[in-house]
Structure 1
């Protein structure tokens, strides 16, 4: 294993634990994947059955874009089961968007709630305005076991980095693991704010279009990558007091 792959494994294991820290888990379901550095179309995904707070670098399974296992954790084939639906969603994005090296899929209560709302993500908070005009939508087709769905999923994603899977959950991706973390964190917080705002039963305040567009441009402007990197390094420190074994 190369140093680059091991570094990616450590960062991906950390991301699993951070999603647990921020309560974005769904028992053994939902997934995060990362592209393995190198010329092969290989990526890392969780070994099915490992809880997010338990995830270690050595628990991640290396698979090709067809979902065939390339590297087994500890060399034990029995420990290398991956989730078929997770593979369908992640492989579609990784193959179609080589610029995105990390893909996150969640089933949070707030994410599923917004995914069930006809109008999707509303521009009612600063967190939501980050994604103004930059969020994609994909209609629900059942549990994602049909490989034919991949073409429709990537067509709906287009050049967006985040997507709401209607009646299902959220998807976020980034050029780095830290960037993907920043996307899902902001999207999840935007969904939480929307659910609570709607629950208040009051008329919502929506900024003018030019303000929405300005705010989205500000988030995507110069320095966005540096800010995501700062946030990622800060988030990693949350794991150090009690869970540094993610690097094992």
Structure 2
């Protein structure tokens, strides 16, 4: 399968070219998460808005590992989490509680990502949360919000509270739970998640050795202004996402089917 591209996979007639492109991109993201070790059995979620006038979104089929997700088996849902069209799989009700609320309320929330990786969840469990004391965290200064733990996110009313907690910030730390990133595109949401993950990894490594050196607020603010991860002129993560997509294409391009 090495060297195969989307030309080797035919778009099913039931999907428009625009929806199929979104499906392929989202399926690639699931495979990239698997490649990076960001999976949690069959749990966690990445959701993506379907291009067009309808408030429809794509999310992973509940029961499949990320390595099994492909463009055609992604599930299309409306803002209430009801499945649109046919799907052989359900969705995880814990997944769309806050994804749906974010997508339905924030017009620029085209992609929402949530993980339970050990370093990110560990920092979400810390009383003081993320420490802006390393290169990666510095780029997230002023972009972090927190939501208090309420248990498993299966209750619809919590979606509104999660949305309120986000306060328009692109990174929401669900305390004792894990991070959520919100992007105007899938690559930008991925870039936020990658930055947050690296920030947490470095923070935990630093704390294991001693006290971190503080960074002045003025320098933190400068780092945010200078970060290419948020600038659409520089792709806002598209180049990095494309590089990782090329890797998963070489490993197993069947996510494109």
TM class by shorter-chain length? over 0.9
CA contact (8 A) 1:104 1:171 kept: yes
Take 1:223 and 1:58, find their aligned partners in 2: how far apart are those partners? 29
Equivalent residue runs for 1:1-248 within 5 Å: 1-73=15-87, 79-200=88-209, 202-219=210-227, 222=231, 225-248=234-257
CA contact (8 A) 1:69 1:80 kept: no
Detail structure 1 runs of 4+ shifted over 3 Å in the superposition: 220-225
Shift of 1:227: 4.6
Shift of 1:178: 1.1
CA contact (8 A) 1:179 1:225 kept: no
How many residues align structurally? 242
CA contact (8 A) 2:98 2:160 kept: no
**Structure 1 residues not aligned, in runs of 5+:** 74-78
Take 2:233 and 2:133, find their aligned partners in 1: how far apart are those partners? 21
TM-score normalised to structure 2 length = 0.91
TM-score normalised to structure 1 length = 0.94
DSSP 3-state at the match of 1:241: helix
Question: Could you tell which deviates more after superposition, 18-27 or 215-224?
Answer: 215-224
Take 1:175 and 1:131, find their aligned partners in 2: how far apart are those partners? 16
DSSP 3-state at the match of 2:84: strand
Shift of 1:223: 5.2
Shift of 1:72: 2.2
